[in-house]
Amino acid sequence: MRYELYYWPGIQGRGEFVRLALEDAGAAYVDVARERGNSAMTAMMDAKASATPPFAPPFLKAGKQVIGQTANILLYLGSRHGLAPKAEAGRLWLHQLQLTIADLVLEIHDTHHPLGPSLYYEDQRGPAKKRTIEFWKERVPKYLGYFESLVATRGGPYVTGRKITYVDLSLFQIVAGLRYAFPKRMQQFERNIPGLLALHDRVAARPNIEAYLASERRIAFNEDGIFRHYKVLDL
């Protein structure tokens, strides 16, 4: 089956967590907005026109099904493509981890948008500074400490132990994104997460991921996405 991925074309964003899974699995997919523009995406979000209209991108068309919410898409794809266990208990555990990553992603976004997504960063610089300080002081250690402890206590190199899952692909993205957005802060912090750094390197070295990262389908991080390099926040 050839999937259709719907996401904003100019950023990695939340769509990237889905792309990494599709690419690692070697699944056939078309990135619709990048190839054909946004109008199909907007049409599918119309409640009058669609049986299951997503609230927002990303969403995946898989045959007749339209599946939204990043973690939900990965829940659907994971066990179908060898990136998650098949049994329910293991799937729910992985899904729980992905939902925790989604919470972290939202907090990363809120370092530059603490007053909400409908205002520009430039209109919330003061609160952004304060949020960022608290984020690095309290939240990064809590979230990344948790995932580091999972790698350590499961025997590694991945969060469930020896077998890679889509959660590991997402953690690669978290490490890469934080290094882009907060190079100074991350350089100081990352000595605390050797397991996650090793995980990042292993994921990057996987043949399909390596090929993807070198391709034009992997667009660069920029200041429109989740991970933004605002120097004034990276003290």
Interface residue list for a second copy (CB under 8 A): 47-48, 52-56, 65, 67-69, 71-72, 75-76, 89, 92-93, 95-96, 99-100, 103, 106-107, 110, 114-119, 124, 127, 130-131, 134-135, 137-139, 143, 146, 149-150, 152-153
Q: Which residue is it, tokens 């996987």?
A: 206
In the bound complex, what is the minimum distance in angstroms from residue 81's beta carbon to a second copy?
Answer: 16
Cβ nearer to a second copy, comparing 67 with 171: 67
Cβ nearer to a second copy, comparing 65 with 188: 65
In the bound complex, what is the minimum distance in angstroms from residue 175's beta carbon to a second copy?
Answer: 18
Cβ nearer to a second copy, comparing 115 with 219: 115
- Amino acid at residue number 153: T
Cβ nearer to a second copy, comparing 76 with 212: 76
Are 131 and 110 spatial neighbours (Cβ–Cβ below 8 Å)?
yes
In the bound complex, what is the minimum distance in angstroms from residue 148's beta carbon to a second copy?
Answer: 9
Three-state DSSP string of 123-192: HCHHHHHHHHHHHHHHHHHHHHHHHHHHHHHHCCCECCECCCCHHHHHHHHHHHHHHHHCHHHHHHHHHH
In the bound complex, what is the minimum distance in angstroms from residue 36's beta carbon to a second copy?
Answer: 24
Cβ nearer to a second copy, comparing 49 with 220: 49
Collapsing DSSP states into helix, strand and coil, what is residue 31?
strand
Are 20 and 169 spatial neighbours (Cβ–Cβ below 8 Å)?
yes
For helices 15-25 and 207-214, angle between their N-to-C axes, nearest 10 degrees: 130
In the bound complex, what is the minimum distance in angstroms from residue 40's beta carbon to a second copy?
Answer: 19
Q: Which residue is it, tokens 């991945």?
A: 158
